[in-house]
Amino acid sequence: MSTPMPATAKPIHHVLLGVTGGIAAYKSAILVRRLKDAGFDVRVVMTTGAQAFVTPLTFQALSGEPVHTSLLDADAEAGMGHIELARWADLVLVAPASANALARIAAGMADDLLATLILATEAPVLVAPAMNQQMWANVMTQRNLQTLRDYGVQVIAPGAGSQACGEVGEGRMPEPEDLVRVIQHYAQTRTLPQAAVPRPQILAGKHVVITAGPTREALDPVRYVSNHSSGKMGFALAEACLDAGAQVTLIAGPVNLPTPAGATRVNIVSARDLLSVSERIVEAGCDVFIATAAVADYRAEQVADQKIKKQGDTLTIHLVKNPDIVATIARHPKRPFMVGFAAETQHMETYAQGKLESKLLDMIACNDVSRSDIGFASDDNAMTVFFSDQVGLEKVVLPKANKHEIANQLVECLVKAGA
């Protein structure tokens, strides 16, 4: 149910659309039409950069109104057009809002029409950022966004996916139809819908390595030893870390899950594959290593060259211990912040705390996989998080929730722990 609009809020009929320089400016032309279809009156202000992508004539034809491009326009209300526009607006929407525009607005500059009218208006201001994914994640951009929020500007979350520059990640301007729904929701409630609120980039500048899924230890060309891990928790964590601004490398065992947009995926099969890839990536440099993979503890001492034929009522296979990937990485000369997982069926907290100490971890998240409603193959989970003495935090209990929500909470735990 939508929150009712505050009784003192002015109804929103007039939308002043600010268009700044960026390839996403073509979407703004469609946005004008969609806003008018939704019943809003729309006027458009374009920066010099925006005019390099779309002509003012396009917006004039779609809005039915003159397009404003100049701060010092002698024909507009005796040269005070920015004041007239600032008074006319019930809402100012900047879409696309380039990194440059965000920086200039955050700095309170008033050297072009759009920046000046934002200073002069009493109307609420919303910005829809659109830029390269690395520019979006940059700490300076995030600082400018926080400054804007502190000033009362509402920030609409960008989308993720393929970008015009060829890269993949967050920074895409939302589709016009989605922006119209955001504006309609805001007009009714004076709040953004939850899905339109960007997550703080609390892992910006960090390289996070995540292992996920099971390993398979071959017995012969057709058989193997493995476990029931689906990889869902690790993949949810990859998405949460990406949403928080991290560069993510996902080392995945044999699972049938799509790669989160923006993550670098490396597929492995066995525990020794996983260790080799992990050591190579850690040697190259990373900040956080999250080990959610369910690694087989043992492998066959000898792998048969041909399929083992059925012979007699029993079969003896000699198993040898696999390398301890987490403990090995925790002792690496370039050791990152170490996060382990413990999937237990009994004495969960005791075993988890033992692993935390024996494997030299900074943080461990444990869950009870004997429960039928969480854990392997389930979309839900519940966890208890413990921290090393060096971190110095009390344990955190994460009640049952969707694995994506659990992942977001684990990212917050990471940051609190100093990762």
The pLDDT score that the predictor gives to residue 162 is 66
If you ran DSSP here, which 8-state letter would residue 214 be given? B
Average pLDDT, the chain: 90
In terms of average pLDDT, the best of 2-11, 196-205, 244-253 is: 244-253
What confidence category does residue 226 fall into, taking pLDDT thresholds of 50, 70 and 90? very high
Average of pLDDT values for 268-296?
97
The pLDDT score that the predictor gives to residue 406 is 92
Average of pLDDT values for 321-328?
96
> Could you give the maximum distance between any two Cα atoms of the chain, in Å?
101
Using DSSP bridges, classify how beta strands 380-387 and 396-402 pair: parallel, antiparallel or unpaired.
antiparallel
Helix, strand or coil for residue 386? strand
Distances (CA, A) of 150 to 106, 140, 143, 147, 154: 10, 15, 11, 5, 9
The pLDDT score that the predictor gives to residue 352 is 87
Average of pLDDT values for 9-29?
94
The pLDDT score that the predictor gives to residue 95 is 97
For the ranges 32-41, 65-74, 264-273, the lowest mean pLDDT is seen at 65-74
Cα 85 to chain centroid distance, Å, stands at: 36
Domains of the chain: 14-196 (3.40.50.1950), 207-416 (3.40.50.10300)
Q: How many CB atoms lie within 10 A of CB 338?
A: 24
Q: Is 286 annotated as catalytic? A: no
For the ranges 155-169, 310-324, 357-371, the lowest mean pLDDT is seen at 155-169
Q: Is pLDDT at 88 greater than 80 in this prediction?
A: yes
DSSP for 262-298, please give it. Answer: T-EEEE--SHHHHHHHHHHHHHH--SEEEE--B--SE
Helix, strand or coil for residue 18? strand
Q: Is pLDDT at 78 greater than 50 in this prediction?
A: no
Q: Characterise 335 by phi-psi region: left (phi > 0), alpha (psi -120 to 50), beta (else).
A: beta
Question: How far is 129 from 102, CA to CA, in rounded Å?
Answer: 8
How many helices and strands, by DSSP H and E, does the chain display?
A: 13, 19
Question: How far is 356 from 98, CA to CA, in rounded Å?
Answer: 44
The pLDDT score that the predictor gives to residue 201 is 79
165, 241, 366, 413: which one is catalytic? Answer: 165
DSSP for 117-180, please give it. Answer: HHHH--S-EEEEE---HHHHHSHHHHHHHHHHHHTT-EEPPPEEEE-TTS-EEEEEPPPHHHHH
Question: How far is 171 from 145, CA to CA, in rounded Å?
Answer: 13
Average of pLDDT values for 130-144?
89
Question: How far is 113 from 69, CA to CA, in rounded Å?
Answer: 7
Give the containing element (helix H, strand E) for 379.
none
In terms of average pLDDT, the best of 145-154, 240-249, 376-385 is: 145-154
The pLDDT score that the predictor gives to residue 44 is 97
For the ranges 2-16, 54-68, 228-242, 375-389, the lowest mean pLDDT is seen at 2-16
Average of pLDDT values for 200-210?
90
Share of the chain above pLDDT 70, in %: 93
Nearest to 286 by CA among 202, 207, 203, 205: 207
Residues 103-128: tens digit of each pLDDT: 999 999 999 999 999 999 999 999 99
Question: How far is 67 from 314, CA to CA, in rounded Å?
Answer: 84
Q: Is pLDDT at 295 greater than 60 in this prediction?
A: yes
Helix, strand or coil for residue 36? helix
The pLDDT score that the predictor gives to residue 4 is 54
What confidence category does residue 380 fall into, taking pLDDT thresholds of 50, 70 and 90? confident
The pLDDT score that the predictor gives to residue 74 is 52
Instruction: Please count the residues of the chain.
Output: 419
Nearest to 137 by CA among 255, 246, 249: 246
**Lookup: tokens for 386:** 């413990």
Question: How far is 406 from 400, CA to CA, in rounded Å?
Answer: 8
Question: How far is 138 from 419, CA to CA, in rounded Å?
Answer: 18
The pLDDT score that the predictor gives to residue 401 is 87
The pLDDT score that the predictor gives to residue 413 is 95
What confidence category does residue 99 fall into, taking pLDDT thresholds of 50, 70 and 90? very high
Question: Which residue bears the tokens 């899905």?
Answer: 195
